[in-house]
A and B are shown apart, each in its own frame.
Chain A
Amino acid sequence: MGFYFPHTQDEIKEMLKEIGVSSIEDLFKSIPEELRLKRELKMDKGLAEPKVEAELERLAGANKTGKDILSFAGGGVYNHYVPRAVDYLLMRSEFTTAYTPYQPEASQGTLQAIFEYQSMITALTGMEVANASMYDGGESAAEAVLMATRITKKPQGPILLSQGLHPHYRRVIETYTKHIQFEKKTVPINAAGQLDLDALKKESAAVCLVVQHPNYFGCLEQMDEVGALCKEKGLALIVIVCEALSLAILEPPGSFGAAIVAGEAQSFGIRPSFGGPLLGFFASREEHVRKMPGRLVGETRDKDGRRGFVLTLATREQHIRRAKATSNICTNHSLMSLTASIYLSLLGKNGLAKLAAVNLERANYLRKKIEASKKLKLKFSAPVFNEMTVKLGTDAEKACAELAKQGMLAGVPLKHHFPELSDCILVAATEMTGKKEIDTLVEKLEAVAR
């Protein structure tokens, strides 16, 4: 049966002869006999292409997705429209089947695209340098914290994490920093849903402050005051952004003195994909560039003076610096950064701002409906971008399960990570949820709320 090998039996014989052995078996003689597998692998024989396709279609069909149901789920992964031109261009196998661009002369396509991506991320975040990509927002956040320990002179005290940080990101940060000396300390949010500035004021020495904006509960942070406080305290400010679309309408974190801006850029043309592959972005200040993790593409000239692009500042990286590298990252998420570049090129400056405005308005519409509702309440009063925490007054997990039976993904129940918010759900409104859908959501939420 046709596998993906082109060899004929005759060719195999001739090749063995050229090598000077009599069988394929002979090629494996360096593996001691007692280590050989003496049986077949316990798995099915290969299936013909149509059968494999049918089996994968069955598995895909056993999922219920935003395509089949009305979805208001966000919490770090958002349901946005992906222009067809994005999908079409991503089918170009010159991009998909290339390796990391180690040979720049044969990889200018990937390299120029990454350079453009880095430029777009700096523009969005208001920062000076951005890397070629990280795995996802969670890993990017963890790498940001590790970088903060490198850029802070004589770091001491705890790593301050806002309570409004995505709970998964917090877990990833904990995993990555379990073995370094710094403690993690939570700075609480206030009744409005924003970082408690009075609590922050009381902190003395710390390595850095990690604050998410908009935060996990959807609330916008008082970035000007947070930035000013960090500056006053000499604290490295790390701003995490889970909904990158918000950057089109919000003054960028770079304007508030962020040392590092990291987060998730899934909203730029990447489908929810059960959470991966997504796109971690990572931006910082030029003065810290040699302390950054990840690949960087830089502009240069060839020997004839023509502009070209190369991987650069590799002395930070594992293949040169080994145990002293700024990160162990090697393969990153290049194709996802290409996806974002294509998406951002298509929407452009005006399109992206308009889309962000549509999201803001839809969320505002939802907010007004909840404020007018007799049964539903907003948990927090702070302004939001496209997501908010809604109090149902009843077990939110059960309520969501009930609505799921009716074919609706109403949002993300918060009980699992925040037991004190067991009657709350996180609801996102995007350009995919019109007023009519929002009306339906509110109606159904009211029916299950108490």
Chain B
Amino acid sequence: MSEEKIWRKRGSMSYEEPLIFEKSVPGQEGFLVAEPEDKVGPEKIIPDKLVRKSELKLPEVGEQEVVRHYSRLSTWNYSVDHGFYPLGSCTMKYNPKLNEFTASLPGFGALHPESPEHFSQGMLELWRRLEDALAEICGMDAVTIQPCAGAHGELCGMLLFRAYFDDKGQKRNKILLPDTAHGTNPASAALAGFEVVEVETQNGLLTPEHIKPHLDETVAGLMLTNPNTLGLFETHIAKIAELIHQAGGLLYMDGANLNALMGIARPGDMGVDVMQMNLHKTFSTPHGGGGPGSGPVAVKKILEPYLPNPRAVKEGGGYRLDCNRPKSIGRLTGWYGNALVWVKAFTYILRMGSEGLKQASELAVLNANYIRAKLKDHYQISYPDSCMHEAVFSDKEFPNEVTTMDIAKRLIDYGFHPPTVYFPLVIHGALMIEPTETESRARLDEFISALLTIKQEAQTTPELVKGAPHKTPVARLDEVNAARHPVLCWGGGTPLKK
């Protein structure tokens, strides 16, 4: 296709934008740094052999062009503020702007982590109160908000398992996982040194019968996502917890899907011993195009001594950091975790309160079931029961070899972000749709209508679907070639020359 044709396809408000390096003009500066006052010269201060001789290959671009560059790049992104973003298990709910304001307050942002405690009383109070609120929501005894992401929380949880059994002098080396588990679960368990044993599920659920044969004195516990990645509540969870506890193990819950449960049921009441939650999902902090998130971990009393150092504690009228905890798993991050993400989540919790959080979960489940009900006659569903916060469909009955990937790409043409695709692995061509509570009925109807149209197109004009997307800055990209011949930096593919 000619360049002109491609251009026309993209529409008039879309811009070409080269790499920032390709915009570089020698001598341009986007931010004027004052000249050093003394002009001593680095080689007079530090040994010549340590002074940089290699050229520093950074771009040289004026402020206005830098601003244009990133403004233009931003227009190539789909985002929650653009429209419906139903990525399953990612809980892409609306990110309230109040949160952004509070997190931008200089009293938080300019606070140095090595400040003495009496300089950081406001942050320490927020830390303590946020952990307490999350403990109540989860029905757990203690929380650490230090993990920086969900997977970081999982690792923390697995290290807590380790520390607990080491302390008891037990060598338990296995972690059980259902086959529907997110990839981070086995990766986190392995990172903490556990051997992972995958357990089959039945009708999308884990049953006591499935785990019984695996339970012995080598099993440290089970990692279970609830509601699971099929959008189903693990109805046997209490019995499973009982069996695991009888065998001397612990139950870990991946709380990625906590958005279905707030104020309705609490993991702590189900027998869960350790869980992580994701502030960038359930508690409305924005995902940032891939982080920063925050993955607090909640535990039962017996595991509290092992939580990472330090802990924020209330003492008298103030707050302090407690590092004197000999059984702690140690330090998880350079400092204390993603404090500005805490601020956003705390703002959200204050704004929502008990009833708001409960309503959020109710409406999230309502929205998912609405999509499920309206699509179930057109897209194959795997399990007959109603769902929780997300509904999973399959491309199994699609005509003309139209696949889930094609459906996903065609949805972009209709102005929607695709759902999570090809996960969970147990479903053929899975389309995992999580609408969240912040979408209106009108928006859901538009989305449903787009999916119905795509189903028709798959029948009548399959090439149109297979060639999608047609309205994006780039057409479908060659991912195989990208992996086969990696070009990972500008001028790359070959080592950067001196």
Contacts and interface: CB of A to CB of B under 8 A. Distances in A.
Contact of B61 (A14, A255, A348): A348
Nearest to B139: A37
A47 B353 CA distance: 7
Contacts of A42: 136, 354
A450 interface: no
Contact of A15 (B96, B151, B265, B441): B441
A170 B267 CA distance: 34
A313 B192 CA distance: 24
B169 interface: no
B351 A344 contact: no
Interface in B326-382: 329-341, 343, 346-347, 349-360, 362-363, 365-367, 369-370, 372-374
* Residue of A315, A320, A352 ringed by the most chain B CB atoms within 10 A: A352
Interface in A81-107: 83, 85, 87-89, 91-107
Contacts of B172: none
Nearest to B472: A105
Given A32-B235, A37-B265, A275 B118 contact: no
A327 to B, nearest CB: 7
Instruction: Tell me the interface secondary structure of chain B in the complex.
Output: loop
B43 to A, nearest CB: 10
Contact of B31 (A76, A85, A306, A353): A85
Contacts of B95: 93, 96-97
Contacts of A146: 191
Given A169-B334, A323-B196, A324-B190, A404 B291 contact: no
Contact of A275 (B58, B92, B323, B334): B334
A119 interface: yes
A286 to B, nearest CB: 7
Contacts of B54: 126, 251-252, 255
B162 A179 contact: yes
Contacts, number: 715
B1 to A, nearest CB: 5
Given A100-B289, A348-B61, A62 B107 contact: yes
A240 to B, nearest CB: 11
Interface in B172-199: 182-184, 186-193, 196
B227 to A, nearest CB: 9
B29 A5 contact: no
Nearest to A435: B37
A389 interface: no
A353 to B, nearest CB: 6
Interface stretch (B242-250, B432-440, B449-457): B432-440
A14 B101 CA distance: 36
B50 interface: yes
A124 B1 CA distance: 38
B396 interface: no
B398 interface: no
A431 to B, nearest CB: 8
B40 A220 contact: no
A198 interface: no
A63 B237 CA distance: 43
Given A96-B95, A301-B478, A135 B264 contact: no
Contacts of A97: 79-81, 95, 286-287
A168 B187 contact: no
A112 interface: yes
A319 B290 contact: no
A106 B77 contact: yes
Best-surrounded residue of B57, B77, B118, B469 (most CB of chain A within 10 A)? B77
Contacts of A358: 33-34, 36-37
A330 to B, nearest CB: 5
A71 B119 CA distance: 12
Contacts of A418: none
B111 A65 contact: yes
Report, as a range, how many residues of chain A touch the other chain: 35 or more
Given A264-B334, A276-B339, A348-B29, A331 B293 contact: yes
Interface residues of B, number: 210
A61 B148 contact: no
A139 B495 contact: no
A36 B472 contact: no
Contact of B90 (A62, A99, A172, A301): A99
Contact of B280 (A52, A295, A331): A331
Interface string B233-277: 101011000000000000000000000001111100110000000
Interface string A388-401: 00000000000011
Given A24-B362, A409-B119, A4 B357 contact: no
A197 B78 CA distance: 53
A52 B98 contact: yes
A136 B289 contact: no
Interface stretch (B152-160, B211-219, B296-304): B152-160
A85 B192 contact: no
B35 to A, nearest CB: 7
Contact of A318 (B115, B162, B186): B186
A353 B57 CA distance: 11
B202 interface: no
Contact of B353 (A7, A28, A45, A302): A45
Contact of A95 (B35, B61, B77, B334): B77
Contacts of A327: 187, 191
A314 B150 CA distance: 19
B13 interface: no
Contacts of A288: none
Interface in A10-39: 11-12, 14-16, 18-21, 24, 27-32, 34-37
A151 B360 CA distance: 47
Contact of A41 (B34, B76, B357, B367): B357
A352 B187 contact: no
B238 A47 contact: no
A118 interface: yes
A286 B496 CA distance: 11
Interface in B471-498: 472-479, 481-483, 486-492, 495-496, 498
A422 interface: no
Contacts of B343: 56
Contacts of B337: 275-276
Contact of B42 (A180, A312, A319, A360): A360
Contacts of B29: 347-348, 350-351
B77 A110 contact: yes
A139 B334 contact: yes
A140 to B, nearest CB: 9
B87 A99 contact: yes
B74 A109 contact: yes
Interface string A218-235: 001001100000000000
Given A136-B334, A332-B149, A347-B29, 13 more contacts: A3-B351, A24-B365, A35-B237, A44-B353, A62-B125, A65-B109, A85-B30, A93-B80, A108-B73, A303-B476, A314-B483, A331-B280, A331-B293
- Closest 6 pairs between A and B when the two form their complex, measured CB to CB: A275-B335, A60-B107, A62-B122, A46-B353, A179-B193, A334-B290
9 contacts: A63-B111, A64-B118, A65-B109, A95-B70, A97-B81, A168-B331, A346-B61, A348-B28, A364-B38
